Amino acid sequence: MLIKTIFSGFGGQGVIMMGYLLATAGMIEGKNVTCLPSYGAEVRGGTANCTVVVSSEEIASPVASEPEYAVLMNNPSLIRFQNQVQSGGTVFLNSSLIEDRPIRGDLVIYEVPLNDLIKQLSENRGANVVMLGAFIKKSGLVTPETMIRVLKDTFSGKNPAVFKSNRSALMLGYEYLK
């Protein structure tokens, strides 16, 4: 098993954090992981992305030329990555911001209206973690229990409330996709 995922969106939408959380959860579950964020001039001017590989074997390259999954948070990301996803791969779309749809017919598409969903959260934020919840539900790459543990390790240091709101966001996304 070797699964590659690209997370992409505007800088500030938390795509690097999504990659970090997924890779950490994979690590905790004893899998091999790599996480390669975009950097430098590439991220100036808006679009950031992050590639995560989760594997039962040693990972040769952290670069994903043909990812199984793409998690796309804005329209430029859809334009850039829709044709890179493997045939039969899966795309998660932030349907609140992305009006277009992939023209390919060989992809599984999940639409997640993040802006509407986060209105159900107390602080109206955490769209990236909502999306991550939806992503782990359908990809099954890591369990929600592991991801909750990662959220706890990552966010409860400063303020326990931050962890709790992230946990709510995760479960909101997890339960949104049936």
Partner 1 sequence: MPKVLMRGNHVVGEAAIRAGCRYYFGYPITPQNEIPEYMSEKLPEAEGGVFIQAESEIASVHMVIGASMAGGRVMTSSSGPGISLKQEGISFLCALELPAVIVNMSRGGPGLGNIAPSQSDYFQATRGGGHGDYRTIVFGPNSCQELADLTYEGFNLADKYRTPVLVLGDGMLGQMMEPVELPQEIPLKKLPAKDWALTGAKGRASRFIRSLILDPIKEEEHNWKLMRKYEKITREEVRWETYFADDAKMMVIAFGIAARIAKGAIKRLREEGVKVGLLRPITLWPFPFKAIKEISKKVKHFFVFEMNMGQMLEDVKLGLEGNGEVHFYGRPGGVILTPLEIARVISSQYYQKRLG
Query: Residue 139: is it exposed, middle or buried by C-beta count within 10 angstroms (0-12/13-18/19+)?
Result: middle
- Alpha-carbon distance of 177 to 172, in angstroms, equals 9
34 binding partner 1? (CB under 8 A): yes
x/- mask, partner 1, residues 70-109, rule CB under 8 A, reads: ----------------------------------------
Q: How far apart are CA 170 and CA 7, in angstroms?
A: 16
Compare residues 33 and 127 and give the one whose CB is closer to partner 1. 33
Among 1, 65, 87, 158, binds partner 1 (CB under 8 A): 65
Q: Tell me whether residue 40 or residue 45 sits nearer to partner 1 (CB atom).
A: 40
Q: How far apart are CA 168 and CA 64, in angstroms?
A: 30
Contacts with partner 1 by CB under 8 A: the residue count is: 21
Residues that bind partner 1 (CB under 8 A): 20, 23-24, 27, 32-37, 39-41, 57-63, 65
